[in-house]
Every structure is written in structure tokens, then in C-alpha cells.
Amino acid sequence: MNSSWLGKIGNELLDLVYPPGLYCISCGKITDDSRTYRLCNDCMASVNWITDRRCAKCGRPLSPNDPGETCFRCSVRESSGSPQCFDKGHACAGYGAVEQSVIFALKYGSRPDIGDTLGEILYDRMASEYGEDVLAGMYDLVTPVPTHRDKQAVRGYNHADLMGKSFAKRAGLRYDPEIVKRTRPTLPMKGLGPEARMANIQGAFDIRARKLPLIAGARILLIDDIFTTGATIDEIARILKDAGASRVDFLAFAAAGDMIN
């Protein structure tokens, strides 16, 4: 009998006493199931909730030093005469350590259960701004940013789909995860220049032909885990608008801060 075997048995016993639902979804510390969003007190206190100034267009947090109404990226697009195709973005929190570890656990840690919790956070954020009744009539369709099928096959699920399903159910909104598909895998945007980003994303998405009747005239809400450069969201918004959507907004759990700080 070696010590690692004993350690394993010990962990299994712990699982019986403390089911996974009782661990903080960010740091893994044992907590209890009365905690809001299944976060321990320390992690809950460290979430960068966006309650202060945010970009009027994309919703990312604005630096206190930025006097404008929109973030650097949105201002540049606006003044160049080619504003983003989405109408308005919403995010719950700035992208910091707690937000990152929750998203990583959902995406890479085989924790699909976290999708439901993030859906609850998305719902609370929207309901607190617009009210439950207004929210229930705001969109004709909610759909997630799709994952490429190869990635989904490895992971077993699309994390944005789990979040979107949970959000739409709470909001009483129509949900369809099959509107947009990824036609090819894309590289991570981080480290790519503006032109490489454009090339990376252009033509990477397509609308499923059988869903076109749902899109004409529809107000659509796109769901994703994190909003960073906005290139992915914007490309999807563009093809949805081309297909006749009257409005495309997005809702993300986390958003990277402004480039100016």
C-alpha cells in the first residue's frame, strides 16, 4: 500500500462528504451550497463586477482616466467610419484572476456544471439592468458563439452553449444553439495584429440555411464566455445582419478592460 493510493482513497472519501457542488468554482476551496454563484467569500469579494463606467457600445469596463463614453477600440472603429456590426454589448465582470479560473475550469477542466452557474450570473446581470419583464421581451432569439466541432468533440460540450441555455431558460427567451456554425478552426486572437485577426476570422462562420427564416427581422442575443478584441462577435454579428437580423447584441461573462488605462 503506497501513500499515493492512500491519498486517492482519501480524496474519494472527501468526495462523499463534500460533493463537487460544495467546492468554490474558482479556487476549489471547500465551501457550502448556500454561497451565491458557488463562490467562496474570498473569491466572491474578488470578482470585478462591472458596476462602474463601461463602454456605451461594447460594455467593457472603462478606465477612470478615460473621459470618453466608448472604449479605445470602439472609438477607433466609430471614427474610421466602420463601426462594429453588433449593436450593444453586455458583460458581467472585468477579466481578472477569479474570472479566468472560473472560465478555465468550465472550458478545460471538464466542469460543464459551471455553465449553469455562469448562465445564472448572466441572467442576474441583465435582469438587474432591464427588469425581468422587459428582458423577457427584448430578444427573439438567443444563440451561443459556436465552437468548432473538433474542439467540441474533445471537450464534449460547447461551454457558451451551456451558459446560453441556462441564461435563456431563466429569462424565458427562445434559445437555439444551431443558428451559426464554425466552418473551420481559428487561431487564438491574442498576439495577432489587426490584419491577421481579420484573416483569421473572415469566413470562419456560416449560418445554417435551414435557420434563415428564424433570423429575418429578429433581435438576436449572442452568448460567449469572454469578450476581448471583439473580432469573433463582430464577424458573427455581420453575417447575422447580412441574413436579415434587425438587431444583434451580445452578452459575455467577462470582458477585457480598455486598452487605455
Binding site for Zn ion (CB under 5 A): 24, 26-27, 29, 40, 43, 55, 57-58, 71, 74
Q: How far is the CB of 76 from Zn ion (least distance, A)?
A: 10
Q: What's the min distance (Å) between Cβ of 46 and Zn ion?
A: 8
For Zn ion, which is the closer residue by CB, 83 or 177?
83
Spell out the residues 6+ positions from residue 19 whose beta carbon is closer than 8 angstroms to its own. Answer: none
Burial level of 216, CB count in 10 A (0-12/13-18/19+)? exposed
Closest CA to 50 of 234, 221, 229, 257: 257
Nearer to Zn ion, 91 or 243 (CB): 91
State which residue, 26 or 147, has the beta carbon closest to Zn ion.
26
Q: How far is the CB of 27 from Zn ion (least distance, A)?
A: 3
Nearby residues of 27 by Cβ (< 8 Å), 6 or more positions away:
40, 42, 43, 98, 101
Least distance to Zn ion, CB of residue 63, Å: 12
Instruction: Report the residue number, 218 or 252, with the smaller CB distance to Zn ion.
Output: 252
Total length of the chain: 261
The residues pairing with 22 across neighbouring beta strands, listed in sequence order, are none
Nearer to Zn ion, 26 or 143 (CB): 26
Ramachandran assignment for 39, one of left (phi > 0), alpha (psi -120 to 50 degrees), beta (any other): beta
On whether the CB atoms of residues 177 and 159 are closer than 8 A, the answer is no
As measured in angstroms, the least distance from the Cβ of 52 to Zn ion is: 15
- Secondary structure element (H or E) that encloses residue 16, with its range: helix 3-17
Which CB atom, from 175 or from 250, has the smaller least distance to Zn ion?
Answer: 250
Between 40 and 251, whose beta carbon lies closer to Zn ion? 40
Smallest separation, CB 249 to Zn ion (Å): 13
CB of 71 to Zn ion, least distance (A): 3
Nearest-angstrom CA–CA distance, 214 and 140: 9
**Three-state DSSP class for 2?**
coil
Distance CA 185, CA 146 (A): 11
